[in-house]
């Protein structure tokens, strides 16, 4: 089975709502007209491109593609990545903020669903959530960690040890405790969740006990302590896989082509 490049582009354009962004969302590099095999990954890089070539893929779909609205200078890493795409005639599709913001198959909505949280207010950059099952902060982290890592964690007694503004690690996830959210008898009431490099939103969010994000920024941690908000850093790469899993499943069902997610892991 195959799908035409234009047909897949139309499907993706209709699926994702346009967002002001730092990259061109859509078809960034034109390749073969017919697509039989699609690989997906969080970020465009040499390793992902090499895997696509090895698997004879006709197209790549990523969250982080070529940033900038036009390629006026094809040098350094841009040249390194663009050259094999052109040589092997591989299409490159990229969707940045639209993949974050999709209310059903976006990163944030998928993470909320996995954690058992109920979305209260959804924005293009994150969402306020309720905790209907009164899960402890640690239970929320366990569920998210198992979802992101696709593995089960054996959770034993956990003693939170934190000095100054340094984090503790639970189920492979960094946490900063600045209130009682991680106590078994004091579950977080209201939570803000936003994947990726969103920790600077700590200055803007209101009336939350817990902020779950991807990549931490140094200044955000001290601000969180001053505001009494506990923090959870899933990791930038780790928190932005879910939307790719979801869109990959959707494409596979819609067009019956081979779709494979390639985890080029990064601990940032």
Mean pLDDT of 21-46: 97
Average of per-residue pLDDT values in the chain: 95
Residues 6+ apart with CB under 8 A from 4: 33, 34, 35
Q: What pLDDT, in 10s, does the model give residues 123-159?
A: 989 999 999 999 999 999 999 999 999 999 987 767 6
Quick check: 71 pLDDT over 70? no
At 41, is the pLDDT very low, low, confident or very high (cuts 50, 70, 90)?
Answer: very high
Three-class SS state of 171: coil
Q: Give 17's DSSP letter.
A: P
Tokens read off for 154: 């054996």
Domains and CATH numbers, the chain: 3-96 (3.40.1390.30), 102-236 (3.40.1390.30)
Of 18-22, 194-198, 211-215, the poorest mean pLDDT is in 18-22
Quick check: 76 pLDDT over 70? yes
226 annotated binding-site participant: no
Quick check: 237 pLDDT over 90? yes
96 annotated binding-site participant: no
Full-model pTM? 0.95
- Please give the pLDDT value at position 154: 82
236 annotated binding-site participant: yes
240 annotated binding-site participant: yes
- How many Å apart are CA 39 and CA 128, to the nearest integer? 32
Question: Helices marked H in 135-179 — which ranges?
Answer: 137-149
Quick check: 190 pLDDT over 80? yes
At 70, is the pLDDT very low, low, confident or very high (cuts 50, 70, 90)?
Answer: low
Quick check: 164 pLDDT over 90? no
24 annotated binding-site participant: no
Quick check: 238 pLDDT over 70? yes
């Amino acid at each position: 089975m195959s799908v035409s490049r234009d047909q897949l582009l139309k499907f993706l354009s209709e699926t994702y709502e346009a967002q002001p962004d730092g990259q061109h969302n859509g078809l960034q590099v034109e390749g073969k007209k017919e697509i039989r095999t699609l690989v997906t990954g969080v970020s465009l890089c040499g390793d992902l491109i090499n895997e696509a070539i090895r698997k004879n893929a006709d197209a790549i779909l990523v969250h982080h593609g070529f940033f900038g609205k036009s390629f006026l200078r094809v040098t350094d890493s841009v040249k390194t990545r663009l050259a094999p795409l052109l040589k092997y005639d591989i299409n490159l599709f990229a969707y940045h903020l639209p993949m974050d913001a999709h209310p059903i198959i976006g990163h944030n909505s998928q993470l909320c669903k996995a954690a058992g949280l109920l979305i209260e207010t959804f924005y293009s950059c994150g969402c306020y959530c309720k905790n209907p099952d009164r899960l402890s902060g640690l239970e929320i982290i366990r569920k998210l960690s198992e979802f992101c890592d696709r593995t089960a964690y054996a959770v034993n007694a956990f003693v939170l040890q934190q000095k100054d503004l340094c984090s503790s690690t639970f189920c492979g996830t960094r946490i900063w405790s600045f209130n009682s959210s991680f106590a078994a008898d004091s579950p977080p009431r209201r939570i803000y969740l936003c994947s990726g490099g969103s920790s600077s939103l700590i200055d803007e969010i209101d009336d939350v006990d817990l902020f779950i994000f991807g990549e931490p920024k140094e200044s955000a941690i001290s601000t969180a302590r001053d505001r009494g908000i506990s923090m959870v850093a899933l990791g930038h790469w780790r928190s932005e896989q879910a939307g790719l899993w979801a869109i990959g499943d959707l494409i596979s069902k819609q067009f019956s082509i081979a779709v494979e997610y390639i985890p080029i892991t990064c601990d940032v």
